[in-house]
Structure 1
Amino acid sequence: MTFDNDDCDCGTGIDRRGFLRGCGAVFAMAAAATPTAAEGGPTPGDLSALLDGLPTNWGRWGEDDERGALNFLGSAEAFDGMQAAVSGGRKRIERFTLQLSVTGEAAQDPLFVGRFPARKDNTLDARFDGVEGSPIPLPGGLKYADDAFATRLFLQGTTHMDALGHAWYGEHLYNGYPQASTATPTTYDDPVTGLRDADFDGDLETYDTTTTYGLGQADVTAAAGAGVAGRGVLLDVGRQFGDEDGRLAPDFGIGLDELRATAEAQGVEVQEHDIVLVRTGSVERARDPDAEYDPLTEPGLVYSEELVRWFHELETPVVGADNVAIERAAQVVDGELYFAPLHGALLRNLGITLLEILDLSALGAACAADGIYEFLFTGAPLNVPGGSGAPVNPVVLKATDEKA
């Protein structure tokens, strides 16, 4: 299979901020498929046919498994990660968190297209001190602040982990679970009013959330319960193939050759069961007020049979990146157009957990400074039953040649 990186400009040219008017994510992605086949562009492909014959991990850990490739992470992998972290001694360990801050600013948060920024507001603070009916101060004089999100908080709107049931093709999710299980109802005794965009037009309406729907199988609770701990490796493709700021050009496709070349240049070996993080520079571009940024043209991994088999042979449990989708949103393979084909190959078929919108800027700079690209990676998503994904704040402990 080949990826025609130069044959299709699949971006819309619409600035990310323009999507805040509320177009739905599905329609935003569909708008990216330009030019159309009628205009001489690529024809839509068949993901089932594209991935037919490639390896899967269905049934590998039993017919009821919902953890997928996280099953590869055990005591030995945690030990390897800890060894990497302490290799410089007790005074040469750096700590990094990889979660992007939730600012609420449309111009800063690289949210998925069509999703509004999450904004919090105080429900209690100093303004309420002594106000009649206010719960502050408490008996004895203690005062406190409290807050809540004032807008909808998308579980996959900032740094997050995908559940294995998040994306699929055909009629089955990871491990053969039926697609109908993604609409599993939960009924509550106590009514709560919610907000939704039923018509994908940006107009929110209230509704009764007495009954809600979520993933009945392969939801994010499997990863939340298992956690992630192991040897992580950063492949800083942005520094290897990018501009002077270490950012890949829009639409840049990262294939297996680029990953291998980056690892060789860094002097690091990607081993079995490693947690693989790929830096593209997209987070820096998204938060740079002077840079042009469109999430539909973000650089990222691109599909090939060789890449899929590489991850399979390495028994990779987790792949993460500093962009919205790990891979390029729109890809042309052998003249046919696909959206996020690696979500089908990696998430659905191999059960590889995907971490998206990681902040790899500080970690990347530290690795480049001391030449150490391996570390202990730990993290777990919020435990949200039925969730198709959830926010996560990974913590990395990395050896360095400088005293901390």
Structure 2
Amino acid sequence: MSTESTLPTYDELPVDPNAPPHTAWGLWGEDDNLGTLNLLTPDKVVKATSLVSRGDVFALNWKLENPNMGMLNRDACTHIIKPIHGDMVFDDVYDGFNTQASSQWDGLRHFCLSTSGQFYNNTSAEEIKDPKNGKIGVHHMARRGIVGRAVLLDFARWAEVNVPDYDAFTRYEITVEELDAVAAHQGVTFEEGDILLLRTGWTARYEVKKAEDTLPVLNAALGELPDSAGLKFSEDTFRWVWNHHFAAIASDNIGVEALPFINPYAGTYSMFLSGWGMPLGEMFFLEALAEDCAKDGVYQFFFSSAPLNKFGGVASPPNALVIK
């Protein structure tokens, strides 16, 4: 748990007695649009800059070609290069571009709280569908940026020794006890406002996939999701995540939680996004960073992310960088 926090614990939520159980609605004000990103205070950003010592930069966006077909019935992006004035000038167009087709932040408009049907801070679906209403849109994340201290938990590397039959393409539930074990193994201590990066090994596994792996992974429909390792759906997980007071969580898998969902409408998406206003990152490319961390033993670093500044947006590529 984060030390010296003035925030309520999971079991002390909600702060508003009229809010659904264990939600953070109203914690940062009735009109808040940032949720747990409020924890990335200026002093924490300044402190995070002290982690830069070598100047090595790690880009965490996976290539837009991956996955190489749209998932969840989303369109795959078509890249068109347009010549202008003969071959003297070129533009490009991304046709059918979906912000959640590859590396992404799921914003606070993405998934409702299953117990109420509302989104973070009691936002309604009607408000989200109103093109003039920007409540909890991704532009709020973009206009303040996501900058601070990030820590990596390399579960996949730890599992090579401790879970010999581990495969990121199976439905493996990562428990809070395992998260604590990985943190202890790496010498990681958490601080309030950390951005947690979780490596399951999914993107690495995808890039060396066998032909027979491809079909169930691509073009999956909700309820027919492919098997994937991820966080265990449980109240213990909710309590562990909230009590560490992370600003955001990003993983290299396709759903953060283990897939298929036990309940696709009541899992981590529901509580993290709409209960707490915590952005969720998916399909972050963590391979080069994880390899470097294994070599130098440093699992904390300066992190920055600039989501798309689109008024009312639901999600965005992360445009994320780590600097060590």
What's the CA shift string for 1:348-372, capped at 9, x where partnerless?
A: 1111111111000111111111111
Letter in 2 for 1:391: P
Measured at CA, do residues 109 and 85 of structure 1 come closer, stay the same or move farther in structure 2, by a change above 3 Å? Answer: farther
- Give the distance between the partners of 1:112 and 1:179, measured in 2 at CA: 23
Corresponding residue for residue 308 of structure 1 = 238
Letter in 2 for 1:118: C
Q: Offset of 1:288 from its aligned partner?
A: 1.9
What's the CA shift string for 1:232-273, capped at 9, x where partnerless?
A: 000001111147898535101112111111111111112221
Measured at CA, do residues 110 and 358 of structure 1 come closer, stay the same or move farther in structure 2, by a change above 3 Å? Answer: farther
Letter in 1 for 2:118: H
Corresponding residue for residue 62 of structure 2 = 100
Structure 2 contact 58–288 (Cα < 8 Å) conserved: yes
Q: Offset of 1:115 from its aligned partner?
A: 2.0
Structure 1 contact 329–340 (Cα < 8 Å) conserved: no
Pick from 74, 89, 105: which aligns with 1:144?
89
Structure 1 contact 239–246 (Cα < 8 Å) conserved: no
Pick from 364, 370, 374: which aligns with 2:290?
364
Pick from 204, 228, 249: which aligns with 1:298?
228
- Give the distance between the partners of 2:99 and 2:109, measured in 1 at CA: 14
**TM-score, structure 1 normalization:** 0.67
- Give the distance between the partners of 1:302 and 1:321, measured in 2 at CA: 13
Q: Offset of 1:289 from its aligned partner?
A: 4.2
Q: Secondary structure at the match of 1:297?
A: coil
**Which structure 1 residue ranges, 5 or more long, are not aligned?**
1-51, 87-91, 125-133, 138-142, 187-214, 399-404
Structure 2 contact 33–140 (Cα < 8 Å) conserved: yes
Q: Offset of 1:338 from its aligned partner?
A: 4.2
Letter in 1 for 2:173: G
Structure 1 contact 318–352 (Cα < 8 Å) conserved: yes
Pick from 359, 370, 395: which aligns with 2:321?
395
- Give the distance between the partners of 2:20 and 2:260, measured in 1 at CA: 22
- Give the distance between the partners of 1:391 and 1:231, measured in 2 at CA: 20
Matched, 1:79 2:46: yes
Letter in 1 for 2:260: A
Corresponding residue for residue 267 of structure 1 = 187
Q: Secondary structure at the match of 1:231?
A: strand
Structure 2 contact 171–259 (Cα < 8 Å) conserved: no
Pick from 77, 92, 104: which aligns with 1:160?
104
Structure 1 contact 254–301 (Cα < 8 Å) conserved: yes
- Give the distance between the partners of 1:278 and 1:227, measured in 2 at CA: 20
**Which structure 2 residue ranges, 5 or more long, are not aligned?**
1-18, 218-224
Letter in 2 for 1:269: T
Q: Offset of 1:121 from its aligned partner?
A: 1.6
Matched, 1:226 2:144: yes
Corresponding residue for residue 115 of structure 1 = 74
* Aligned residue pair count: 292
Q: Offset of 1:341 from its aligned partner?
A: 0.4
Letter in 2 for 1:307: T
Q: Secondary structure at the match of 1:225?
A: helix
- Give the distance between the partners of 1:369 and 1:111, measured in 2 at CA: 35
Structure with max Cα Rg: 1
Q: Secondary structure at the match of 1:296?
A: coil
Letter in 1 for 2:207: R
**TM-score, structure 2 normalization:** 0.83
Corresponding residue for residue 6 of structure 2 = none
Pick from 377, 380, 387: which aligns with 2:303?
377
- Give the distance between the partners of 1:145 and 1:249, measured in 2 at CA: 40
Letter in 2 for 1:163: G
Matched, 1:182 2:128: yes
- Give the distance between the partners of 1:184 and 1:339, measured in 2 at CA: 23
- Give the distance between the partners of 1:95 and 1:247, measured in 2 at CA: 29
